[in-house]
Homo-oligomer: A and B are copies of this chain.
């Protein structure tokens, strides 16, 4: 029983992966409004009822596909050292943005090809993805490590923006030491003068 369950689970997981990957491919091909469950099912090589059973609407299907990209990134491990923790959060953002499908969706958003519904969906998924890092920064502020007037979202947006600048505007690789330099700049600031 345990063996057949395992096989069934593995088969289920590979169907899910195929459907979600087909969803992202269709999204890139036709956009959000024109995406149909039928075409996704055909591309994934599964029956459309298989798709409908799990994701009854296009919105749920696309949300699941976008969430799956974010889930390829490692969990955020918190050490209590704000510099190490912010660097880990930055690396996690980089991992989510760097996958082939993550890049595809980001290019769509940044190139202005994404419909407002998709932009809103991507925004809400990103906020969920960034929630552990936001809570980590809030805890650091409560410990007295961060200035209380600092908005964690601004810190995370500055990191995400710099990653987009590097990956999509300059089309360059992100050097680990440069990412550390950015985190250091955001934590320590550029000024010499005592605050």
- Measured CB to CB, the residues of A under 8 A from B are 82, 106-113, 119, 123, 137, 144-147, 150-151, 154-155, 157-158, 160-166, 168-171, 178, 181-182, 185-195
Point out the residues of chain B lying under 8 angstroms from A160, CB to CB.
Answer: 161, 165, 169
Query: Can you list 10 pairs linking A and B with CB atoms under 8 Å apart?
Result: A82-B191, A107-B110, A110-B169, A111-B112, A112-B168, A158-B182, A160-B165, A161-B162, A185-B189, A189-B190
Copies in the assembly, this chain? 2
Q: Are A192 and B154 in contact (CB under 8 A)?
A: no
Contact in complex: B145, A192 (CB < 8 Å): yes
Residues of B close to A163: CB separation below 8 A: 161
- Residue on B nearest A122 in the bound complex, by CB: B169
